[in-house]
A and B are shown apart, each in its own frame.
Chain A
Amino acid sequence: MEPDGLLSGIYRTFQIVWESFPQLLGGALLTIEITIISVLLGLCFAVPLALARVSSNPLLRWPVYGYIFYFRGTPLLVQIFLIYYGSGQFSDFLEDIGLWTYFREAYFCAVLTLTLNTAAYTAEILRGGIQAVPHGEIEAARAVGMSGGLLYRRIILPKAFRLALPAYGNEVVFLFQATSLVSIITLMDLTGVARVIVARSFHVYEIYITAGLIYLTITYGILWVFRKVEFHLGGHLRERPATAVGSKAVVAPTVAPR
Chain B
Amino acid sequence: MLDLRGYGWMLWDGLQITILVGICSMAVALLLGLIGAWGKLSKSKIAQGLAGTYTTVIRGIPELLLILIVYYGAPTLIQNIAARFGHDVIIDVNPFLAGFITLGFIYGAFTTEVFRGAFLAIPSGQIEAARAIGMSRTLAFRRVILPQVWRFALPGLGNVWMVLIKATALISVIQLPELMRNADVAARAVRLPFTFFFAASLLYLGITIVSMLIQQRAETWANRGVRRA
User: What 0/1 readout, one digit per residue, does chain A (193-228) give for beta carbons within 8 Å of chain B?
Assistant: 011001000101100110110011001100000000
- B 184-204 binary contact with A (CB < 8 Å = 1; else 0): 100100011111011011001
Q: Is the interface of A mostly helix, strand, loop or mixed?
A: helix
- Taking a contact as CB atoms under 8 Å apart, the answer to whether B60 and A205 are in contact is no
In the bound complex, do residue A216 and residue B169 qualify as a contact, i.e. CB atoms below 8 Å apart?
no
Not counting A73-B205, A78-B204, a sample of 9 additional A-B residue pairs whose C-beta atoms are within 8 angstroms of each other reads: A3-B86, A70-B201, A75-B166, A75-B180, A81-B193, A89-B191, A191-B68, A204-B73, A212-B61
> Is B48 part of the contact surface with A, judged by Cβ < 8 Å?
no
Is A180 touching B65 in the complex (CB atoms < 8 A)?
yes
* Pick from A69, A75, A77, A212: contact of B69, CB under 8 Å: A212
| Complex alpha-carbon distance, A215 and B58, angstroms | 11
In this complex, the interface size class of chain B, counting residues with CB under 8 Å from chain A, is 35 or more
Q: Across the interface, which residues of A come within 8 angstroms of B170, CB to CB?
A: 75, 77, 181
Q: A75-B169, A220-B60 are in contact. Are A205 and B66 (CB under 8 A)?
A: no
Considering only CB atoms, which chain A residue lies closest to B61 in the complex?
A212
B50 within 8 A of A: no
Out of A75, A86, A198, A220, which one reaches B204, CB within 8 Å? A75
A184 touching B204 in the complex, CB below 8 Å, given contacts A81-B193, A220-B60: no
Can you report 23 A-B residue pairs in the complex whose CB atoms are below 8 A from each other?
A: A76-B166, A78-B183, A81-B180, A81-B183, A81-B184, A81-B193, A85-B194, A86-B193, A86-B198, A90-B194, A177-B61, A184-B173, A191-B62, A191-B68, A204-B73, A205-B73, A205-B76, A208-B73, A211-B65, A212-B61, A212-B66, A215-B62, A220-B60
Interface-forming stretch among B77-85, B118-126, B128-136, B148-156? B77-85
Given contacts A177-B61, A205-B73, are A78 and B200 in contact (CB under 8 A)? yes
Q: Is B146 an interface residue when CB atoms closer than 8 A count as contact? A: no
What is the size category of the interface that chain A forms with chain B?
A: 35 or more
With CB as the reference atom, state the residue of chain A lying closest to B207.
A73
Partner of A216, one of B60, B168, B193: B60
Q: Across the interface, name the chain B residue whose C-beta is closest to A90.
A: B194
Contact check, A208 vs B65: say whether CB atoms are below 8 A apart: yes
Chain A residue contacts of B204, Cβ below 8 A: 73-75, 78
In the complex, A5 Cα to B184 Cα: how many Å? 47
Contacts of A220 in B (CB 8 A): 60
Residues of A within 8 A of B72 (CB): 198, 204-205, 208
Q: How far is the CA of A195 from the CA of B71 in the complex (A)?
A: 13
CB proximity of A73 to chain B, nearest CB, Å: 4
Q: Give bound CA distance, A9 to B80, whole Å.
A: 11
Among candidates B64, B180, B208, residue contacting A191 with C-beta atoms closer than 8 Å: B64
Q: Given the complex, which residues of A lie within 8 Å of B74, measured CB to CB? A: 205
Closest Cβ of chain A to B91, distance in Å, is 12
